Structure 1
Amino acid sequence: MMFCETPSLTLLAGLPGSGKSTLAKRLAALGATIVSLDAIRAELGDVTDQSRNADVVAIAHMRVEAALLSGQWVVLDATNLRRAWRQRWERLAAELHVPIRIHWVRTPLLLCLWRNWRRTRRVPVRVIVRMWRETED
């Protein structure tokens, strides 16, 4: 069963620990194709390595574009907290004439920090707090 019109692009946006990846898994069960920046980082060798972000985003762009061109509903699992990051995906959707939605996963900062603390792969607290302060709706 397809939950969303196809092709289309859904951007998940939220802090680390907000529940974006959990939501993405649920959307996959409804027929979405998930493109995850963390999964791509893991494929490149280290999910925590932020030094290759340009490569990660380029790979994600290729995967999102290919999936949209093949008529799929694509969900991009990434923080997408900065307007410029979201605009990159908005331009792609416009070029391909597909609808785009931004789904904010708004979770209280303290809950994000608690969830992060429970993980084996933790984002530094100072990074999450900085991201929270710098979020651009």
Structure 2
Amino acid sequence: MTSSTDAAAAAPTPPTATSDELLKALILQGHRLHSAVSAVGAAHQLTADEWLILDALHSHDGLTMSQISALTPPSGASLTRAVDRLVTRSLVYRTPSLTDRRKVDVRISDLGRDLHGVVTADLADLTAELDAAMAEEALDPVAFAAVLNGLPGLA
């Protein structure tokens, strides 16, 4: 039989009002940020997911579909459709993998790099707002991103 102290220690702590508020703020701001990125992307006939795919390929050219899926929200058929649209616009292209002939790598084209640069520049105001908000609160954006990216169950 366990003592009441052991049971209390094993019970998860209820979320505080602060963590509830943070969760709500992240959800709300996530939607707002997605809408803002979508609006900028729409001016270039890109969805937010397609821009994220271009961004992943800009940072890590020559990714398999599985690797792109791990770095971006779309997966499965949605990812395939998004990459197909980017291929149709000559923003990315597929090549046989150099390491595994059963796989295909997706690479960003020069046109894709150019468009990525234009969209990134168009997002500069939003990025500047984020930077200013983080600086005002003396928050390290790299550490904050690491916390968000490391949340269990969300990876």
TM-score by length of 2: 0.28
**Which one has a larger percent helix, Structure 1 or Structure 2?**
2
Higher percent of residues as strand: 1
Which structure has the greater CA radius of gyration?
Answer: 2
> Highest relative contact order (Cα 8 Å, sep 6+), 1 or 2?
1
